[in-house]
Structures are given as structure tokens and as C-alpha cells.
Amino acid sequence: MTQLLGISGSLRSGSFNTALLRAAAAMVPEGATLEVATLHGIPLYDGDAEAASGPPPAVQALKDRVRAADGVLLATPEYNNGIPGVFKNAIDWLSRPGADIPAVFGDRPFAVIGASPGGFGTVLAQDAWWPVLRTLRARVWFGGRLMVSRAGTVFDADGRLVDDRVAGQLREFVAGFAAFARP
């Protein structure tokens, strides 16, 4: 069984990216699962707090979930043409201490998707993730790209994916990534 973890980079209760991951979880191919995680409870990174107490419980819990996953799918919003601060902050926490990087990221399959209310999807945020993931030595899947634009028309008021074209693209993306991440 291929175990995928999807991490939403948005804290908003009505997040399009969390909704995109929920839709992806319903579409994983046979032989795979996708668990959805959020960043709730992860504090701002503080090296002094890390030195005094180690990683906070919410950070350690997410780190454990990443370690247990065969592959990680980042669902990124795009804020001001880049990576949202809360999402980068969480990844920075997961990379601490530096000695943990090989176990958390090293050669672990990662992929990036995203949804945005704007017309360009999340192209710049996704592009900004590549050097971060490369630095952490993740094995990034470049076999597909999914940037959902005009997300307000793609999801209904309850966060259900209602656009057949996007649903087909998401299904294809998730199947490709699951195959890439297969242990």
C-alpha cells in the first residue's frame, strides 16, 4: 500500500488547497491512500525555543507523519507571487535539527499542486518550492503539473470539486504521483 501525505499550506477553514487535497484523497488509485494534514498549531520557527525544548508537539507530529509517508504532496496557495509564510515556516521546522533532513526529506518523493482564486493558478509558488525541495534533497516528481486557477468556480460553497476538467487532471496527477512514490 502506497501511503501519501497531503499537506495544505493554508490555514483558512474554506481553503481551496485543503479542498483540493480532500478531492485528491477521494481519487487515489487502488493500492494507495492519501491522508490530509494542515499546519494548524505550528508556531513560528524560533531557534531559541528549539534549543530550549526541541520541536513543539505539532511540529513533531507532522514530522512523524512525513516520515511514515511514502510520498508527500504539498498543496500550496500563492501569496504575493510566492510561497505562503506559514507553509515555508512549517517546512523550516521540519528541517530542524539539520541532522533530521535525510530521514524526513532525503530521497522522499514530493510533488506540488495548488489552487488560487486568481487567473495564474499557483505557478510562481510552485516554482519557488523547487529550490527548497532540492536543497532538502527530496526526490521531486516533475511528471505532471496541476495549477488550479479561478478556484472559486471549481469548488462549490461546501468545498466540493465540481469542475469535471479539473477533476480529470487531478485524478491523473494523483495516479502519476502514487506510481512515482510506490515503495
Q: What pLDDT is recorded for position 140?
A: 97
CA distance 22 to 30: 16
Q: Largest Cα–Cα distance in the chain?
A: 50
pTM: 0.97
To 10 degrees, what angle do helices 85-94 and 57-68 make?
80
The stretches of 82-122 forming alpha helices (DSSP H) are: 85-94, 101-104
Cell numbers standing for residue 46 = 524560533
Cell numbers standing for residue 95 = 528541517
pLDDT tens for the 183 residues of the chain, in order? 999 999 999 999 999 999 999 999 999 999 999 999 999 999 999 999 999 999 999 999 999 999 999 999 999 999 999 999 999 999 999 999 999 999 999 999 999 999 999 998 999 999 999 999 999 999 999 988 999 999 999 999 999 999 999 999 999 999 999 999 999
In the CATH scheme, what architecture does the domain 2-181 have? Answer: 3-Layer(aba) Sandwich (3.40)
CA distance 60 to 57: 5
Domain boundaries of the chain, sorted by first residue: 2-181
Q: What pLDDT is recorded for position 144?
A: 84
Is beta strand 139-140 parallel, antiparallel or unpaired with respect to 146-148? unpaired
CA distance 5 to 65: 7
Beta bridge partners, 111, equal 73
